[in-house]
Structure 1
Amino acid sequence: MLSQPIHHDSPFPFFYVNSAFSDEESAALENLFLQDAEWQHRDGAFYRCSLRDVTENISATFRTEVLGRMREITKLPLINRVVVTAQRMLPGQAIGVHSDRPLVGYEIARLVVQLNKQWQAEHGGVLELFSSPEREAVFSVNPEYNKAFGFLLHVDSYHGVTEVNQPRQTVVFNFWHAANTPELAEHLQAMFADMHFSELPAALNPVASAAELSLPEDTTFRAGMAALALHRWGYDKTTVVTGYQHSAGLSVCDTKHAETYAAVLLADWVACLYRGSFDLVHWNILRRELEGIEVFTRLMPTWQLCLPE
């Protein structure tokens, strides 16, 4: 299963396997398209196909085996959650260039399995990879039968599918990072619910007002969210101001006080995550910075979701 993956780092981390599964396994996946079921039809400006969730139509044993191989191949701490989608494209349909950046609670990796027998170049449906949405494709993956393509999702994972001239069948396995789970998304939604920056201490006002005159709105908004996280965790006004300045890039939090340091870094992380997307590089830096530091009581619920053991 998924043996001898061929790895590439450009234009983003991905791998492919020419013969992904056994004949029996690939036939079972192909049978998913023969079952009577409701399909969700997407007919947007750039995303045209039909989808349906087939997770429960695949044995738990098979899903677990695929998850195990993906852990070995990606070297990522993937949780015991696998969602599988069948995708069908009909002649004339195509998928435009896009990036599936992992928002908070979203999957971090995908495995795309092609199930198109006797595929020929004129059939189309080629998966193309791009370094940016404005440039030409730098890598192509033909949708040949039992070929699998796996990749990590991030802000620059640009890809698309050329127009198909014959029906195209694909099964997509989705995987979640242990530090970006749906449970974390729910936690942050609750933490930032009914958000009003007016609840922040008055001591922050002159700092925030000055920052808003010279920094981009996204930067000051994220800094405000970091300050709000610290305030809602119960930290004093000095720590809230320090957190705002750190997140806005106005200063670096280099205090020797372990709890303040941990709280400021964690607040900056949850603000970035909630406002943007899960950045694996940034998360690894955070993990190294906080390694060995005590998990303080008021930070514990958020810490355990963002930095699971």
Structure 2
Amino acid sequence: MTVSQSHALARQAPFPHAVAGQALDSDLAENVLKWFETTAPWRLRVESFYEQYEMNLHEAELPQEVAPVLSDERVDSLRRQLLNPIEPQELILTEVNAHKLLPGQTIRIHNDYIGGEETHRVLIQLNRDWTDDCGGILMLFSGPTVEEVARLIRPRHASGMAFEISPTSYHAVSTIRSGERYTIVYSFKRAN
């Protein structure tokens, strides 16, 4: 398996996170994106702060060319590239989900904190020809209000972002204006 990954840049503010321009090799990213766009079994989920299509990749029947996204080798690679720069402790994968956002959908400010059941996330973006005009910008906040926006991260194809989940890991996704925005979400917890 060929894995061409870029170095992740880590920051501590507004909360511990790391970003890499290339987190998934091109062939695998293209295979997953094609499946997401065609026959993947999406289901709509509506909550108080978001509406999106989702699927649990452990429960879905993955095509052979998509299955490597769940391999131990892939998870270890993402852990080394994106999580090690922000978390020295051992992390255990808890689940892998995928999200799809369509025009008009948004994810309002939230922190993902559910009492320590999950402590870290890795997000892999799969968005062909995405531009700023499409919307869907990942926004990081230093507090729970829009005025506290601290960083904007474009959802570039095959890029990755990892962050520590805490009561202060406020983030959101701006409204999708055009296109379909896809994300693979790897969730982890501390081993101890």
Say yes or no: does 1:152 pair with 2:155.
Answer: no
1:91 corresponding residue in structure 2: 103
Show the 5 A alignment for 1:24-43.
Answer: 24-34=27-37, 36-43=39-46
Say yes or no: does 1:18 pair with 2:30.
Answer: no
Question: How far apart are residue 72 of structure 1 and its match?
Answer: 3.2
**Per-residue CA distance 1:217-270 (angstroms, 9 max, x = gap):** xxxxxxxxxxxxxxxxxxxxxxxxxxxxxxxxxxxxxxxxxxxxxxxxxxxxxx
Show the 5 A alignment for 1:34-53.
Answer: 34=37, 36-53=39-56
Question: How far apart are residue 44 of structure 1 and its match?
Answer: 3.0
2:190 corresponding residue in structure 1: 177
Normalising by structure 2, we get a TM-score of 0.82
1:283 corresponding residue in structure 2: none
1:195 corresponding residue in structure 2: none
CA contact (8 A) 1:113 1:148 kept: yes
Question: How far apart are residue 70 of structure 1 and its match?
Answer: 4.7
CA contact (8 A) 2:20 2:82 kept: no
Structure showing greater Rg: 1
CA contact (8 A) 1:108 1:177 kept: yes
* Bigger relative contact order (CA 8 A; separation at least 6): 2
Question: How far apart are residue 112 of structure 1 and its match?
Answer: 0.7
1:9 corresponding residue in structure 2: 12
1:131 corresponding residue in structure 2: 142
Letter in 2 for 1:26: A
Gaps of 5+ in 1: 180-309
1:65 corresponding residue in structure 2: 77
Gaps of 5+ in 2: none
Q: What fraction of aligned residue pairs are identical, expressed as a percent?
A: 27
User: How big is the alpha-carbon RMSD for the aligned residues of Structure 1 and Structure 2?
Assistant: 2.0
Aligned residues: 177
More helix by proportion, 1 or 2?
Answer: 1
Give the secondary-structure state (helix, strand or coil) at the position aligned to 2:84: helix
CA contact (8 A) 1:32 1:86 kept: no
Question: How far apart are residue 48 of structure 1 and its match?
Answer: 1.2
Give the secondary-structure state (helix, strand or coil) at the position aligned to 1:144: coil
